[in-house]
């Protein structure tokens, strides 16, 4: 029997024509972004990160809200190349990371679904997203943190780091999205001394944008 899919073009008229080459779609998309977005204030490595974030959001203009601490992109890339784990606040972030782009088969960790988290959140009187970060402590030193969903997670991380005994990550991508606490948590991150950080200021953000930033930092190859 001939597979149905091999007869597709013969069986149905081509009502819609479209670009089918995935790499070509990426190249065209990135070229359009670079022609339309205001990217001149970014370093070359930062520009690649911002272009991929804009692509994930489908929003030229996002670059106006993106901020890096000095050298953050270089620090995060070096950490990934050295094998640092990526700690994610939500499965939407962890699942958006392209594993084949990671330079050192880096471990991707999301503790939100851990069986301990619900009871831990109840005891702490906080959200599950915040409580889940307590399980990061053994892996936090030198890690790359990717928070794209929960402002409570970012606030809790900053509170954890007030303790000098708490291990410090190499870099933090803080792009939680929302109307309650999102803008404030990102402003607090950028005001924290000694942290390498990337944010999308204001209410904008999200898991796709955050994963895109990791994907860009993980490899110099754009496609």
User: Which residues are known catalytic residues?
Assistant: 55
The per-residue DSSP string of 141-187 comes to TTPEEEE-S-HHHHHHHHHHTTSTTS---SEEEE---SSSSHHHHHH
**No. of helices (H) and no. of strands (E), the chain:** 10, 6
Which candidate, 140, 209, 216, 214, places its Cα nearest to that of 178? 209
Which candidate, 94, 118, 120, 119, places its Cα nearest to that of 108? 94
User: Alpha helices, DSSP H only, in 58-106?
Assistant: 72-81, 91-96
3-state secondary structure of 85: coil
Neighbours of 140 (CB within 10 A): 20
The per-residue DSSP string of 3-38 comes to -GGGGHHHHS---------HHHHHHHHHHHHHHHS-
Kindly report each contact of residues 163-167 with a partner whose C-beta sits within 8 Å and lies 24 or more positions away, as own/partner.
166/137, 166/140, 167/137, 167/140, 167/141, 167/142
């Amino acid at each position: 029997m001939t597979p149905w899919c091999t007869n597709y073009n013969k069986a149905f008229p081509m009502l819609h024509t479209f670009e089918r080459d995935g790499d070509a779609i990426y190249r065209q998309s990135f070229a359009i972004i670079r022609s339309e977005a205001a990217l001149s204030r970014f370093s070359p490595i930062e520009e690649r990160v911002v272009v991929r974030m804009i692509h994930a959001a489908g929003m030229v203009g996002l670059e106006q809200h993106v901020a890096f601490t000095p050298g953050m992109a270089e620090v995060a890339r070096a950490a990934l190349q050295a094998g640092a784990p990526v700690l994610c606040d939500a499965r939407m972030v962890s699942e958006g990371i392209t594993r084949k782009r990671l330079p050192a088969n880096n471990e991707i960790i999301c503790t939100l679904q851990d069986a301990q988290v619900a009871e831990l959140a109840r005891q702490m009187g906080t959200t599950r997203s915040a409580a889940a970060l307590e399980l990061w402590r053994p892996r936090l030193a030198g890690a790359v943190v990717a928070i794209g969903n929960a402002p409570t997670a970012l606030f809790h991380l900053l509170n954890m780091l007030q303790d000098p005994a708490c291990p410090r990550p190499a870099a933090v991508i803080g792009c939680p999205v929302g109307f309650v606490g999102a803008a404030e948590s990102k402003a607090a991150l950028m005001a924290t001394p000694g942290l390498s950080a990337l944010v999308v200021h204001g209410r904008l953000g999200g898991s796709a944008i955050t994963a895109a930033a990791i994907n860009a930092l993980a490899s110099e190859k754009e496609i």
